[in-house]
Amino acid sequence: MNYFKDGDIEGIVIRKMETYADNRGWLGELFRKDDPAINLIRGDSGFYPAMSYISITNPDVVRGPHEHREQTDYFCFLGKFRLYLWDNRKDSPTHKNKKILENADRLIVVVPPGVVHAYKNTGEEDAIILNFPDRLYGGWNKEEKVDEIRYEDDAENPFKIE
C-alpha cells in the first residue's frame, strides 16, 4: 500500500543555485538575507541560520529518512543526489504528498519542520552537502535533546527509498 502520492509540498523551496563562472572556476551564492524566498519560509520573522555544516556522502549511500519537529533545513547540494521529500504534517494542505528530485546537484532546497526527507548519492564520486539550519544541533552548548525523528532503522516506516 502506497501511503504517499506524488505532488508538490507546501513550504518547500527549491531553486537552482546562482553560480558565476570564469576561467578560475565558479562561485555559488548560497544564502542572501535579501532573497524574497527566505522571508516566505518563516513568515514575517524570516529565516536565519543558527549554524552551518558540511557533509560528504559516499556513492550509493542514503542519509535519512528523518524529520524535525521545529527545525528548518536549508540544504545546498553539490553532487549527484536523489532527494526524497514526504509531507508528514497533518495540518498541511499537501499532507501525504511526496516529491522526488532526480538530480539535486547545485540545488538549494529548504525543508520545513514536519517534512520527512532523505537523499541518496547516485553518482560515482563522493558528493557534498552544506546545510544552514535555523536551530542548533542539540541546542545551546549541545545540552538539549536533538530535534530529529529518525526512520532509517524502522523497516515498517512508510518513507520508502527507491
Average pLDDT over residues 90-103: 96
Is residue 93 in some structural domain?
Answer: yes
Peptide bond preceding 65: is omega within 30 degrees of 0, i.e. cis? yes
Domain assignment present for residue 58? The answer is yes
Full DSSP string of 11-53: T-EEEEPEEEEETTEEEEE---TT-HHHHHHSGGG----S--E
- How many folded domains does the chain comprise? 1
Q: Tell me, yes or no, whether 73 lies in a domain.
A: yes
Report yes or no on 125 lying in a domain. Answer: yes
Task: Name which residue leads in pLDDT, 78 or 44.
Answer: 78
Please indicate, yes or no, if residue 151 is contained in any of the structural domains: no
CB 159, CB 67: distance < 8 Å: no
**What average pLDDT does the chain have?**
91
- Output the pTM of the full model: 0.91
Residue 149 domain-assigned (yes or no): no
Residue 158 falls inside a structural domain: no
* CATH assignment at residue 61: 2.60.120.10
Q: Which of 2-11, 72-81, 105-114 has the lowest mean pLDDT?
A: 2-11
pLDDT tens readout for residues 5-58: 999 999 898 999 989 999 999 999 888 878 776 666 655 556 788 999 999 999
DSSP for residue 152: T
The residue segments making up the domain with residue 134 are 5-142
Structural domain contains residue 160:
no
Q: Is 80 helix (H, G, I), strand (E, B) or coil?
A: coil
